[in-house]
Amino acid sequence: MTLLTPAAGNAGLLLLADSRVPSGGHVHSGGVEALVDRGLLRDVEDLTLFLAARIRTTALVTASLTAAANTAAANTAAANTAAANTAAANTAANTAANTAANPVSGKWSYETTCHSRGWSCWDAAVEVRTPVAALREASRAQGVALLRTALLAWPQDSGVRALAELGRPHQPLVLGAASAAAGATPAQAAVLAVHHLVGGAATAAVRLLGLDPLRVAAVQAGLAPLVDETAARAASAAELAVHADDPDLLPADATPLPEIMAELHHASEVTLFAS
């Protein structure tokens, strides 16, 4: 995976990539537990096929949403900085009367411009691409958990703060905004999203089946080219969608079996993972 570059905020990226960061992801199996319980995922070979399919579908969608959120959050921060600089310049250059006649508040955010519906639109884009109620709730629960961490880690970041106004945003949006605050590019945010999806499912498989963690790590390494390819596609789609201000341009690939399994898992009385 090409996650780090010399110019990137590598420390922040590594923090977000670390499974120990309080984000709520450790209680979710990414659909693995439901398949294991029904004998549909039994060994490393099954896990490899499952992960490859998930990367091509669910991960593509999640990564594109994360990359789009990264761009939206970065745009918010950049616009805030530009407006603040303009306000400071006007204050220094203009007389009090001129300033009164041409007020510049210095505040630009999703709450005060046409972007006031911006995060809601992208949140709705996640919603419609997550047809199963149990998975929607899992996404929002993880989003809230990660948002708490992001607000403490980057309290001054305007993109993260604006996203918090949604209350319970979906996880891809929070990961995208947090990655922007950490200095990541949209492409890096996309890789990060796929990394979390693959890593969470792989870890769950080790816990549920007692698989050899060394072999599972080898599976993840073997899937790295597919991860990079998928993340690149996701970042390209996100760039087009954000430029057009149209979330409908994002991928919507899906497979029905994991969604059916998610509902069955949600209805189960005893489970190790929340989803």
Residue with tokens 């939206």: 72
What is the band of 9 on the pLDDT scale with cuts at 50, 70, 90? low
Number of domains in the chain: 1
- The per-residue pLDDT of the chain, averaged, comes to 83
Say whether pLDDT at 7 is over 70: no
Residue 212 falls inside a structural domain: yes
For residue 246, what is the domain's CATH number? Answer: 1.10.4190.10
Give CA–CA dist 255/51, Å, rounded.
13
Q: Identify the pLDDT of residue 83.
A: 47
Average pLDDT over residues 85-95: 48
Q: Identify the pLDDT of residue 263.
A: 87
Residue 93 falls inside a structural domain: yes
Average pLDDT over residues 141-154: 93
Give CA–CA dist 146/256, Å, rounded.
27
Q: Are 87 and 194 in contact (CB under 8 A)?
A: no
Residue 273 falls inside a structural domain: no
What are 31-68's pLDDT values in tens digits?
899 999 999 999 999 999 999 999 999 999 999 999 99
CA-based nearest residue to 47, from 27, 29, 61: 29
Residue 274 falls inside a structural domain: no
Average pLDDT over residues 195-222: 95
Q: Identify the pLDDT of residue 214.
A: 97
Q: Identify the pLDDT of residue 46.
A: 97
Average pLDDT over residues 215-226: 97
What is the band of 91 on the pLDDT scale with cuts at 50, 70, 90? very low
Range of the domain at 36: 10-267
Give CA–CA dist 66/199, Å, rounded.
16
Please classify residue 209 by burial: count the beta carbons closer than 10 Å to its beta carbon, then call 0-12 exposed, 13-18 middle and 19+ buried: middle
- HEC string of the chain equals CCCCCCCCCHHHHHHHHCCCCCCCHHHCCCCHHHHHHCCCCCCHHHHHHHHHHHHHHHHHHHHHHHHHHHHHHHHHHHHHHHHHHHHHHHHHHCCHHHHHHCCCCCCCCCCCCHHHHHHHHHHHHHHHCCCCHHHHHHHHHHHHHHHHHHHHHCCCCHHHHHHHCCCCCCHHHHHHHHHHHCCCCHHHHHHHHHHHHHHHHHHHHHHHHCCCHHHHHHHHHHCHHHHHHHHHHHHHHHHHHHHHCCHHHCCCCCCHHHHHHHHHHHHCCCCCCCC
Residue 245 falls inside a structural domain: yes
Residue 31 falls inside a structural domain: yes
What are 69-87's pLDDT values in tens digits?
999 998 875 555 544 444 4
* Residue type present at position 207: R
pTM: 0.83
Give CA–CA dist 74/186, Å, rounded.
9
Say whether pLDDT at 89 is over 80: no
Q: Identify the pLDDT of residue 4.
A: 56
Q: Identify the pLDDT of residue 139.
A: 93
